[in-house]
Amino acid sequence: MNMPFQSIQFGCYDAFRRMLNPQNSYSPITHVAAGGMAGAVAALLTTPIDCCKTLLQTRGASLDAEVRAAGSMRDAVRIIYRRQGLKGFWRGAKPRVIANMPATAISWTTYEYFKWAIARRESSKI
């Protein structure tokens, strides 16, 4: 689950950062906005995988025999689709996006700040 999310997030962050700050200067507002948007897109696009993962992780607590017998992502997809249709793959998307936006905004802003601070310190040594 982390691999698809991180892959999407990295690509989106770079695209949003370049779009919002074409001169590529240090800009905390740009990093907050690009990081938040990247987290939102990644969270939204990986929600279907997360729904399947959640079904598989919680199957042991289920009273439903079909859910308890699910042993693969394919089984999880079939169960969700049969019971809830396509809409079932998007359950929890809003809270997921809301939770990931600030987390990724903070992460990218912190990363960019330290990258800038280290580069600034290194360039003052020369």
How many whole angstroms separate alpha carbon 30 and alpha carbon 75?
A: 42
- Cα-based distances in Å from 68 to 56, 59, 72, 73, 80: 8, 5, 11, 13, 13
Contacts of 96 (CB under 8 A, 6+ apart): 43, 44, 47, 50
Name which of 1, 104, 10 is nearest 50 in CA terms: 1
So what's the pLDDT on residue 122? 84
Q: For the whole prediction, is pTM greater than 0.85?
A: yes
Query: Mean pLDDT over residues 27-52, rounded?
Result: 97
Q: With contact defined as beta carbons under 8 Å apart, do 103 and 39 qualify? A: yes
So what's the pLDDT on residue 126? 63
- Quickly state the pLDDT bin for 17 (edges 50, 70, 90): very high
So what's the pLDDT on residue 32? 98
- Quickly state the pLDDT bin for 1 (edges 50, 70, 90): low
In tens, the pLDDT along 46-101 reads 999 999 999 999 999 999 999 999 999 999 999 999 999 999 999 999 999 999 99
How many whole angstroms separate alpha carbon 102 and alpha carbon 48?
A: 21
